[in-house]
Structure 1
């Protein structure tokens, strides 16, 4: 404990303080500038009344009303000369963090910021805006614009603009950056969300990065003409043809060959299509295995695999064929132990899987054949399509045999179709569960003055199915009637409405059916006839509508709550 200061020391300090001190001109100027700073508060001085000489009466001070103190200001006023805050210099100047600076400043939208100015908060807003969610480590950020992805070749970016793909869709924003870094991807998004381009661009980038000497000198040799470099699997012929059509838009300009291997085509057609070599094969699993066993096609150099609509392939019983196909493909170990890694400029096989729903079978395939995949969820599995107005009509009578003609249901269909004709467009797909019903409806509607009606079902040849789709696409027929064989793979932008004449047996198929309308940014409508015989789909339908924020129909709530027939 220090000793108290004595009286003598206090007096000495006082005398020392009264001694005049020399102050330089520079310091005097600084002090003068400090005193000229405005005081934080107005100094209130009393008003003096009367003379100031010694003979006058004592001075009278008139009371002065103190000024109103502002909020958070001090309670007292003081003389400027006594204010020591002006010359205060902090020991440390703390810089605001960038995040704090963004919060304090007027925040601009992420789309107006340069890429290098994007902060974590901006990326979170972007993901929220497009309903993008990730599962996995080190997946990076979504794609804002085509020209900001350095891994995309400049030629490919220009081609996107020429083909009028001006902005990426949410699934493309989320999946493409991951796939371009040779990471396995599982993409879950609703039908019609642009998944095809989400895997075509990584495939094309992969081909464009392959050693040029190999592509121009070796791959075109006779021994390599049937060796594809990338494989795309689809569950149905229609979807395979749709993928091929989309791929050819790019491949014709880039000089790559796309070969389709599907049922309904002669093997001679496959051989003929391979005469100029192959870079991308689009195939259905069953016909591809036949072609592999016959030696028509080879996967010896194929290190890029895409499975589109994987959930549908599992539902159709293709799980075992998928495993067989993967046995024909080289794995990452072979890639790195051969010259292929140098030629193809990759260090692992890439596997991409796209699906609208997640099931235990999909998870099994993912676990067995994908390496630490990144999961991308856009809108969630089984999500409601916002741009489709979905309506339901509950029919009291459930026919004992749904393959027989139902006059009441048909009359309701006529009412719905006539209401649609009044609009500007009339382009409708009608779904039924049985090919017999498809043909009945086509005959009845043609007799009611609806002109040519196109039909698709499993008993039709591939040539007839392709002709029906082309007739509907070119608007030579305003109505296409189909079974679920057409629920996936038909991408026709002008479909104004989908009618479920019979509710699908599996609710997942309902999602894909209504996804045939409301495509390419257009609005769409769906109309579904439903009855007691469809009660197995009721729980999922209610959940589907609830998640989409739509009103649950009264008949649906009552049926599920009572567990009885209406």
Structure 2
């Protein structure tokens, strides 16, 4: 029979008889005993290592080798143990194994000095000088501004204008004369890369400041051209019609807007900027380049006509910019673009002549800005751009956070052809306009339609219902009429602009309070650009879209756009058969 365990009382009684009692040790006493134990274990470990070293066969280098080796390169060979052949398994571990002093079998990478600095200093990137920026700081910086890139060897973004390699004269104009205080994300990402003479494909949403993103590098390039050429040779009559830089835009309105922005800088730098667009007489172009031209801003069709008439020559143009390239493709300018690219001098021509020294470049430079990457855009990029860097900014292709997107689903297709306006739809439009006019005293509304006649009819109906202050622009309007309409809308003489997609891009009107899609665009990309006329420069905006089953071709893209942007997707869109039966495209 097993013995019963001794009780706690008996143990205490025994301890009393031995003259010792349980003693509570203080924290400091426990710590002292622990340190003493560690010292004893360390002494034993060192003693074992000393014994093992006596058995080591050491390689002794000669005098010359000793001078070339440092202490860390000494090699210690451990004596081999005899294997026991009778044993089924042979292991070579030490009989008195003590791993407390051994080196780890793997070495984990330690944090870099930069990383430690980030973790311990607690400084945000904005508090650091440029030279102290770490890779972690740049990653946070890019996340703060929604900048992503691909293409290899991408320059770090721009933190402030002063930190860019912009010529001092241009920097003074930029900051002091024109009061541009802070770059936008697309400007931060593209300007440093373009200043390194790298080809660029920039993908950014409308209203993101792309114009300045390509004007600053272009002007920097021109100011870096040999001064003797600029002051003497370029002024000769033979070079009067040869621009140094070319900017292509899909519409007259966008081309004029770019020209206006470029002329702000050009007036201070004694440069001549000329726009070549439809609606202007060829004599105007001839007169405008009479004293020489430095920058041409053009629409593709009109530029080709001017080249074929020998009004413009591109023999000295090594800097090309394509703005809204996707829109140019959509408008059928793909062949025109290819023709223009064929007129430009090649990199081979640059390097085989004195031009490389005059213009201080080793290749032709091409900057392309677009909202989407389509197969035709990829084809042009592959054929004409040299190792481009791709820059993606924030919500390009995703719902815009500062625009409240509202929809009214009308169900089955309504009678809304190019020849007539559906009365029920117009009554709903009128109700939206009246409500908005009551809520906002100084309002600016853009109404989009797909057909020119619908625009004209809407203007007439709105006028009959008390909204006489409306103007119309579309492809059949003359250039002068379009310019007058836009000027009237900008100055608030007219509060309502009715337009086709010619106004979807390039019209920069501040504080547009409401965009109405009387008819949904047949191409989803145009929907994004339409609503992008409001909510610009950090302001809030609203869009209201009438939509029915005839627009089902864009439902998939609309659903993806709203979901990816974190916007609420309407129930009718979630439940519609076109979105239920198809898989969202990547």
Matched residue, 2:465: 448
- For the pair 1:67 / 2:67, whether they are aligned, the reply is no
Matched residue, 1:224: 239
Alignment match of 2:526 (pick from 509, 528, 535): 509
Distance in 1 between residues matched to 2:445 and 2:579, nearest whole Å? 34
Alignment match of 1:343 (pick from 343, 352, 358): 358
Distance in 1 between residues matched to 2:516 and 2:269, nearest whole Å? 40
322-331 or 304-313, larger mean C-alpha shift: 322-331
Matched residue, 2:567: 550
Q: 1:104: Cα distance to partner?
A: 4.0
Distance in 2 between residues matched to 1:77 and 1:493, nearest whole Å? 73
Q: 1:248: Cα distance to partner?
A: 0.8
Matched residue, 2:195: 180
Q: 1:521: Cα distance to partner?
A: 2.0
Matched residue, 1:198: 213
Q: 1:126: Cα distance to partner?
A: 0.9
Q: Sort the Cα spacing of 1:418 and 1:230 in 2 relative to 1 into closer, same or farther, 3 A.
A: same
How far does the alpha carbon of each residue in 1:439-471 deviate from its partner, in whole angstroms, 9 at most, with x for none? 111111122222321100111111111111111
How far does the alpha carbon of each residue in 1:342-382 deviate from its partner, in whole angstroms, 9 at most, with x for none? 11111111001000001010000000000111111112542
Q: 1:164: Cα distance to partner?
A: 2.3
Q: Is the 8 A contact 1:358 1:381 kept in 2?
A: no
Look up the SS of the partner of 1:429 in the other structure.
Answer: strand
- For the pair 1:101 / 2:101, whether they are aligned, the reply is no
Matched residue, 1:434: 451
Q: 1:211: Cα distance to partner?
A: 1.1
Distance in 2 between residues matched to 1:106 and 1:350, nearest whole Å? 41
Distance in 1 between residues matched to 2:312 and 2:228, nearest whole Å? 23
Distance in 2 between residues matched to 1:235 and 1:281, nearest whole Å? 14
Distance in 1 between residues matched to 2:413 and 2:24, nearest whole Å? 90
Distance in 1 between residues matched to 2:118 and 2:32, nearest whole Å? 29
Look up the SS of the partner of 2:367 in the other structure.
Answer: strand
Q: 1:512: Cα distance to partner?
A: 0.7
Q: Is the 8 A contact 1:188 1:380 kept in 2?
A: no
Q: 1:406: Cα distance to partner?
A: 1.5
How far does the alpha carbon of each residue in 1:79-128 deviate from its partner, in whole angstroms, 9 at most, with x for none? 9x99999xxxxx99x99732342254142211111101100000011111
Alignment match of 1:166 (pick from 178, 181, 187): 181
Q: Is the 8 A contact 2:555 2:579 kept in 1?
A: no
Distance in 2 between residues matched to 1:450 and 1:126, nearest whole Å? 48
Distance in 2 between residues matched to 1:134 and 1:326, nearest whole Å? 26
Distance in 2 between residues matched to 1:227 and 1:70, nearest whole Å? 90
Question: Aligned ranges for residues 257-272 of structure 1 at < 5 Å?
Answer: 257-272=272-287
Gaps of 5+ in 1: 1-59, 86-90
Matched residue, 1:409: 425
Look up the SS of the partner of 1:449 in the other structure.
Answer: coil
Distance in 2 between residues matched to 1:383 and 1:155, nearest whole Å? 38
- For the pair 1:240 / 2:255, whether they are aligned, the reply is yes
> RMSD value over aligned CA atoms?
2.6
Structure 1 stretches of 4+ with a deviation exceeding 6 A read 60-63, 81-85
Matched residue, 1:153: 167
Q: Is the 8 A contact 1:134 1:377 kept in 2?
A: yes
Look up the SS of the partner of 2:230 in the other structure.
Answer: helix
Aligned length: 499
Matched residue, 1:29: none
Distance in 2 between residues matched to 1:432 and 1:538, nearest whole Å? 18
Alignment match of 2:266 (pick from 243, 251, 255): 251
Gaps of 5+ in 2: 1-18, 44-70, 73-108
- For the pair 1:525 / 2:542, whether they are aligned, the reply is yes
How far does the alpha carbon of each residue in 1:220-262 deviate from its partner, in whole angstroms, 9 at most, with x for none? 1222111100000011111101110111111111111100001
Matched residue, 2:482: 465
How far does the alpha carbon of each residue in 1:120-164 deviate from its partner, in whole angstroms, 9 at most, with x for none? 000011111111111111112111111001x21122222121312
Q: 1:75: Cα distance to partner?
A: 5.6
Q: 1:326: Cα distance to partner?
A: 1.4
